[in-house]
A and B are shown apart, each in its own frame.
Chain A
Amino acid sequence: MKELKPVIEIRNMVAKYGTKTILSDINVDILPQEITVILGGSGSGKTTLLKNMLRLYEPAAGSVKFWGEDILTMDENAFNEVLKKTGMLFQSGALLNSISLYENISIPLEMHTQLSAKVRDRMIRVKLSLVGLSNAMYQFPSELSGGMKKRAALARAMAMDPPLLFCDEPSAGLDPITSASLDELILSLKEQFKMTIVIVTHELASIHRIADKIIFLDSGTMLFYGTLDEAKTAKIPQIDHFFEVGKF
């Protein structure tokens, strides 16, 4: 097989809030069609890593390349094109509160494509049905439970069929069955649609089902980057502890 070019390359990234350094020396190469799981304790900097690699916060140092191009130095228009190929599921859902679910998912399609209303309608309905929210289609975000918001947010992240998807704790707050079906969905996104996916999650079951690669953060440093099996045999105390405590 020929050498695959990484979708995301991060070099020596440092992330700060003000003068407080949260992450240092992050080096990552994410290959196409790979599911990368970011692991680490609460407050270890997982969300910060996601936001910095998406330029939602400007990293204090280092470079981030998407499809071979440095997104930190590119201009607004080029970056917008990158964003259209990228979906993000925020930890809090971040749905637009003033419009219904249906419209939330419709927005990127209306703004960025020339598709006809009928085609858009089908795309929206199938995305909502994939996350099991067909019946809540015309409800407003404030009328949804926490887990429903998460699923709706995933539907919105998938609206444009992005080849690259970021998820911040998609299964937190979901029951094990819904959570497992979400994993199924994520796996099929990867296999059928050849998506590259970066996920933050704490669910061990979920990690075992979906992870190709693991980034393990511990108080701001990347302790480990590699496959799940390597992680388990690497004999790193923090990682062993993480998997040990979570077992039942």
Chain B
Amino acid sequence: MQIELTSDALTLTGELNHHTVPDAAKEISRLFKEGTISKIDLGELTMIDSAGVAFLDEMHLKLSEYSKEQIFQKVPAKIQAMIDTYSTLELPLVEKPPKMGFFEQVGDSLLNSYNELVKALTLAAEIFYYSGVGLFSRKDQRRGSLLQQAAQLGSEALPIVALLSLIIGFILALQSGVQLKNFGANVFIADLLSITMVREMAPLITAIIVAGRSGSAIASEIATMEVTEEIDALKMMALNPIAYVVVPKFHAITIVMPLLVMFSIIVSILGGAFIAIGMLDIAPHTFFTRAIDIITIKDLIVTFSKSIWFAWVIVIIGSYYGFQVKGGAEGVGKATTAAVVSSIFAVILFDAVFSLLYL
């Protein structure tokens, strides 16, 4: 690309494309400082692309501010055809959608959260309704889906629940054992461990693991079905998506969650027993009788009903974000993350409420 300035005419020779435009632009803005340019000779231009035309458009705008002459001179027919196709001078400008102001944004997000809450509660009500109905009539559910879901949810969570419970029982016994020993109160390790795990830790860690494993799976499964129009397809087959997709999971998790909590309690107390028996010299018989005797029926009822609540919260939040998905495949990822974060948050919040109610 060669650029020459003679009197007030600029001559462009060679190819004007996205490789040569940046340098040409620099050269021409330098020439602008040296003298006036009122027309551009394109007679020697051999090739032009959309970058070149866009650049010529910019030049045209600039020169037509003051130049009275025909701005592009001796344009070869080929080049003129390209300019006709690629010129944007005549294109109507499309307004960028305006950005919202601060107060608008705050108001908007408040309204949105309100609407979302209403939607989530509506969905929760629907899920409860169809799950209730689904107990008596298996219409809209695949045969065998409950067992399959239960097996899947349970087996997904079991190993990690076992491992974490064992370690937590271990740590709890170790930390408190050292303190209790100072007071000669070794035996109370059994009471302490049993109460902490049954009332608090077991339901909470199980719920957090299930939220991470199964809550995310529920959200991403439903979100994928939503973006690939599978949910619409179900509706068109006269199947209720909630009854078909959510209810089996809801029933399954209601059964599996208390079992997982039970399992977590047992494993963690076994983990604590290692420390108690091995390091604190407590007789196995004493340890286990104390650990069992301290637990009341009320404790167990509260724990299991609480874990069922957690399970429901996880399913409802997972399905909510799944059904709410926006955008394509990347929406699925966002929905999944949001579901996990919110359900862990909700589980901890519910746990606090339960603790206050049944102290």
Contact = CB atoms under 8 A, between A and B. Distances in A.
A238 interface: no
Contact of A161 (B50, B57, B331): B50
A115 B49 CA distance: 13
Q: Could you say which of A116, A123, A126, A192 has the most chain B C-beta atoms within 10 Å of its C-beta? A: A123
A193 B85 CA distance: 10
A125 interface: yes
Contact of B85 (A113, A122, A130): A130
A160 interface: yes
Interface stretch (B17-25, B236-244, B265-273): B17-25
B88 A161 contact: no
B290 interface: no
A113 B19 CA distance: 7
A97 interface: yes
B294 to A, nearest CB: 54
Interface string B156-176: 000000000000000000000
Contacts of A121: 54
A158 B86 CA distance: 12
B92 interface: yes
A125 to B, nearest CB: 5
Given A113-B22, A118-B58, A134 B91 contact: yes
A121 B53 CA distance: 12
Given A113-B22, A138-B96, A119 B91 contact: no
B328 A142 contact: yes
Interface residues of B, number: 32
Interface string A109-144: 100011110111111011101100011011011100
Tell me the interface secondary structure of chain A in the complex.
helix
Interface in B95-114: 96-97
A161 B49 contact: yes
Nearest to B47: A194
B94 A192 contact: no
Given A161-B50, A192-B82, A119 B327 contact: no
A126 B329 contact: no
Contacts of A126: 50, 53-54, 85-88, 91
B97 A161 contact: no
A98 interface: yes
A30 B186 CA distance: 86
Interface string B278-296: 0000000000000000000
A109 to B, nearest CB: 8
A158 B53 CA distance: 15
Interface in B63-95: 78, 81-82, 85-88, 91-92, 94
B81 A192 contact: yes
A216 B11 CA distance: 49
A188 interface: yes
18 contacts: A97-B327, A113-B19, A115-B21, A115-B51, A118-B54, A122-B53, A122-B54, A123-B50, A123-B86, A125-B88, A125-B91, A126-B87, A126-B88, A129-B88, A138-B97, A141-B328, A142-B328, A192-B82
